Structure 1
């Protein structure tokens, strides 16, 4: 029986997807599946996956017509295809640590959503990893990572400290509230179902993760901080945000009206 379903939200970026799948092929916990939530149906993505770049990985590819930003629908469709009762979410620009699946499963709890954080790599390191995913491996070694502090900061890395897996640092920060980020969180399928998944009525890019977080918390699902236990490495790229203010307004209205189970969500695809 599969221990987890890793849901990856993507849009056309095959290089980044290749780096993510490489890291998933190196996981210390191998008993999981991957469900790719493509917000579109790009030929380059299907051609890449048809080539079976990592044949040992169990991959399901979910697509939809490219009608503009509809990440929330794509993710809900992917969750509907998941074969495990535990969900681990990644964005298509974030490469997981080789212990990512193991760490999320070790810390999983019913009624709690695990929230991790990301290291924002600069342009130089991002391009290196895109061209050769194996270059992410040395950054996961604490001494090597520490030795690269100057070059990483010169490359405008952000959240450098998140790159260290450290139970000690985690013990110092574990009680601090972290908001949900779509690139690094996990939860039980039943908890995701309680709020009907992502709200597909949100029209914009930005704020959709906050919306999910607020609705989960309103129904008693706690946010569990796992900072310093399972980092992901964010590849540099132009920011794509639009109508985030509209999303925020809709979330506030729904919260004020006690609408925590979204009307247009996961149940449309089950």
Structure 2
């Protein structure tokens, strides 16, 4: 069952050069989304300038959600953006993900009630990333030097079923290529704001979706995207956040207490 309406959610923080390329890849999509949501974790005015310039090149409604930079508070701004989504289906990426032209179409074609979709990504090298940013050429071929994981970089829809499977699984989700039904997101009370700092907010959300009874559909050879290289973010609370994920998975928790609503 395909979605009636679809929102593209992009998370971003102070990398306007990357966001510009991500937005450019929207213009190349074979299927348009109904709206674009940008969850901005406190970027400076350069990001707003990129978004304002992009608005002149598209008729798709754009909603920019921003809060003050007080450290890593991604879950809070993601919850705000998603609560205000007007569509029934959400496709989520990061602000450093360049989408294949069929990315949106592929997610929509595999959307089904009772499932969320976990896609893959091809990692770009530092040199390839610098070249793409310098030239703004986002036509990326899977066999090009500096394009990692040739399987993740290749789109062969007729073979996608070989990898798919629909399983109760959460520990392998990456929020940079992820789609789900808004009603399911609301049912688990959204992202958990008790996860402080970088790490594991995506699998913790997936664990609660799993506990709700939602299965994961894996997409490979479809919904292809490319991750621009950047240095690894500080991960001071990663272990603590992972322990919270394990507790959710063990205890069967469906709703977090500190999410969209304070329960």
The answer to whether 1:117 aligns with 2:120 is yes
* Number of residue pairs matched by the alignment: 255
CA distance in 2, matches of 1:181, 1:119: 12
CA distance in 2, matches of 1:110, 1:219: 13
Per-residue deviation, 1:211: 0.6
Match of 1:264 in 2: 258
CA distance in 2, matches of 1:75, 1:184: 15
User: Which runs of 4 or more aligned residues in structure 1 lie more than 6 Å from their structure 2 counterparts after TM superposition?
Assistant: none
Match of 2:15 in 1: 13
Per-residue deviation, 1:53: 5.2
Per-residue deviation, 1:54: 2.6
- Tell me if the contact between 1:129 and 1:136 (Cα under 8 Å) persists in the aligned partners: yes
Q: Which runs of 5+ in 1 are unaligned?
A: 140-144
Q: Deviations 1:102-135 (Å, cap 9, x if unpaired)?
A: 11111101110011100000012111222333x2
TM-score (norm 1): 0.88
CA distance in 2, matches of 1:187, 1:220: 13
CA distance in 2, matches of 1:207, 1:113: 17
Per-residue deviation, 1:250: 1.8
The answer to whether 1:167 aligns with 2:170 is no
CA distance in 1, matches of 2:101, 2:218: 19
- Tell me if the contact between 1:29 and 1:99 (Cα under 8 Å) persists in the aligned partners: yes
CA distance in 2, matches of 1:172, 1:35: 32
Give the match's secondary structure for 1:267: coil
Q: Deviations 1:161-181 (Å, cap 9, x if unpaired)?
A: 211111243122112867211
* 1:7-46 pair list within 5 angstroms: 7-46=9-48
- Tell me if the contact between 1:2 and 1:33 (Cα under 8 Å) persists in the aligned partners: no
Match of 1:64 among 67, 70, 78: 67
CA distance in 1, matches of 2:33, 2:71: 34
Match of 2:195 among 181, 187, 202: 202
- Tell me if the contact between 2:36 and 2:61 (Cα under 8 Å) persists in the aligned partners: yes
Per-residue deviation, 1:158: 2.8
- Tell me if the contact between 1:80 and 1:266 (Cα under 8 Å) persists in the aligned partners: yes
- Tell me if the contact between 1:86 and 1:188 (Cα under 8 Å) persists in the aligned partners: yes
Q: Deviations 1:160-212 (Å, cap 9, x if unpaired)?
A: 22111112431221128672110001011011112111111101211111111
Q: Which runs of 5+ in 2 are unaligned?
A: none
* 1:60-99 pair list within 5 angstroms: 60-99=63-102
CA distance in 2, matches of 1:126, 1:182: 20
More helix by percentage? 1
CA distance in 2, matches of 1:265, 1:222: 21
The answer to whether 1:217 aligns with 2:219 is no
Give the match's secondary structure for 1:180: coil
CA distance in 2, matches of 1:8, 1:60: 10
- Tell me if the contact between 2:166 and 2:216 (Cα under 8 Å) persists in the aligned partners: no
TM-score (norm 2): 0.90
- Tell me if the contact between 1:198 and 1:265 (Cα under 8 Å) persists in the aligned partners: yes
- Tell me if the contact between 2:211 and 2:254 (Cα under 8 Å) persists in the aligned partners: yes
CA 1:123 to 1:41, structure 2 compared with 1: closer, same or farther past 3 Å?
closer
